[in-house]
Structure 1
Amino acid sequence: MADWGPVLIAVALFVLLSPGLLFQLPGKGKLIEFGNMQTSGASILVHAIIYFGLITILLVAVGVHVYTD
């Protein structure tokens, strides 16, 4: 049995937390900008920290597992 939980969670978070796709924190003109499809170095750093925090919580603390045969 293969555990696909970490793979699915990582891919979903990577897509959803791509800077500029859904939101950008910090934005270029405002604190938060939604759907602007742009990015900056500070935004990449903030999104990476959020990604690391969420993936750590979901995989280590909660223990999400998806088993397949």
Structure 2
Amino acid sequence: MSSLYLAVLIAFFASTVTRVFGRKWSMFDGGLTFLVSATLNNMAVNLLMLILDRTLHDIGVGFANQSLPLYLPY
């Protein structure tokens, strides 16, 4: 199973988090998850840690993407 599919299953609830807590906390959660994944990537010593890193990275991007379309110019 691809780590992207696993991240999509978890980040599926990003819209609910954004609706309940607001865009500010959703963007904060996305940025924090992205920073944790970058730290985990630097400390990775085996394949499982890299898969967890990629999953956290995709979740962080998903949460940030849920919040940012309002601020992007079209």
Tell me the TM-score normalized by structure 2.
0.37
Higher normalized strand content (fraction of residues): 1
Q: Which has the higher helix share?
A: 2
Larger radius of gyration: 1
